[in-house]
Amino acid sequence: MPIGWSVLISKQNRSNGNERSNKTKNGNTDITEANGKGSNPKNRKRKAPQAENEDNDDDTKNDGSKSSGKRERTKNHESSNLSRKDKKEKTKHADNQNGISTAQNSVEIQKKHSAAADGDLRSKLVERLKGSRFRFINEQLYKTTGEEAKKLFQEDPDSFTAYHEGYRHQIAQWSMNPLDRMIKSIKKLPKDTIVADFGCGEARLAQSIPNQTYSLDLVSHNSSVIACDMANTPLESNYVNVVVFCLSLMGTNLLDFILEANRVLKVGGLLKIAEVSSRFDNVNEFVANVKKCGFTLVNKDTKHKLFYFINFKKERTLNKKESSSL
Ligand SMILES: C[S@@+](CC[C@H](N)C(=O)[O-])C[C@H]1O[C@@H](n2cnc3c(N)ncnc32)[C@H](O)[C@@H]1O
């Protein structure tokens, strides 16, 4: 790899695809089984008829006790006994009924709880799957050239949307979105500053600044985005005042992206880079490499624990011979 661009090769390629897919497989099986049990109406109905039959049996016993005087007295005695017994039985029965209904209630409550837990588990698994898909695509973007990544998105058009859904989720975990800082700093520049957003994603930069902005990405998220590999854009040479790479220096051919930025920028134009700090083995080496592409360092902010912000100024346009010798 030329002039040590490997310094920016991702250290984030650490996901274990096999382990994740096994977990997902097991998780899905659990959900299917749990849903089947939790929603079986047969289990619920079986108890209720039992309770009704117990009531009917008691009525039959009372009707079958009419006969002679002795038997009447006996009956009365028995009856009073019975009525006491009956009361006891009734109380017992009522207790039983309470017991049944309490048990039924607790079964119902348990079912509701388990349904809610199933729902939680399902959404957790869906989130995990989405997260895995995001990490997988992210990894592909780091491991391939821009041209290969473009083909990847072309072959699976949904993956760009899935990637950006995952990316939005990822941003929500961060204490700051580096794009906000880009927006803030570009808003301070004159309104006639022409901006090119290399790897614009959903093109929020263009929507947030008043400047003429060319939004470029592998996929055209909306009609304002130019779909291209940023190593080879359709922009004119020496045309824009600012090139932005906000977490978009992906791909194995970083040198091509920086050289393209050199080509489209006017002399004196700004190259603004925000990148995940953990991707740099040696930020000074990276700066030295960018300088070789016709830039001077304006400033670098490496204070933030997650992101580095580095600004360069275009000093001169590199000719083809110089570019190819790098
Ligand atoms: C992490 S996202 C950042 C998006 C946007 N800059 C932001 O800050 O919201 C990186 C973006 O760079 C794009 N990208 C990566 N390699 C590219 C290439 N070679 N050409 C054009 N876009 C590229 C990806 O498609 C993705 O949309």
**Residues 266, 241 contacting (CB under 8 angstroms):** yes
Residue 175, CA atoms < 13 Å, CB-side half-sphere: 5
**At 146, is the pLDDT very low, low, confident or very high (cuts 50, 70, 90)?**
very high
b/e sequence 89-126, b meaning 16+ C-beta within 10 Å: eeeebeeeeeeeeeeeeeeeeebeebeeebeeebeebe
Give residue ranges with CB within 6 A of ligand 1: 141, 146, 149, 167, 179, 199-201, 204, 216-218, 229-231, 246-248, 250-251
The pLDDT, as a whole number, for residue 86 is: 55
Q: Answer whether residue 239 is part of any domain.
A: yes
Q: Does residue 185 share a domain with residue 152?
A: no
- Structure confidence by residue, pLDDT tens digits, 245-267: 999 999 999 999 999 999 999 99
Is there a domain that residue 88 lies in? no
* Residue 86 belongs to a domain: no
> Would you say 200 and 233 are in contact if contact means Cβ atoms under 8 Å apart?
no
Distance (angstroms) between ligand 1 centre and the Cα of 141 equals 9
CA 164–ligand 1 middle distance (angstroms)? 10
What tens digit of pLDDT does each residue of 58-74 get?
333 333 333 444 444 44
Whole-number pLDDT of residue 320? 84
Average of per-residue pLDDT values in the chain: 77
This prediction's pTM:
0.70
Domain contains 254? yes
Residue 40 lies in a domain: no
Domain check: are 242 and 288 in the same one?
yes
Range of the domain at 147: 125-172
Q: What percent of the chain clears pLDDT 90, i.e. is strictly above it?
A: 54
For ligand 1, atom 10, the nearest C-alpha belongs to 248
With respect to residue 69, please indicate whether it lies within any of the assigned structural domains: no
Question: Does 204 share its domain with 132?
Answer: no
Looking at 140, 172, 204, which one is the last position of a domain?
Answer: 172
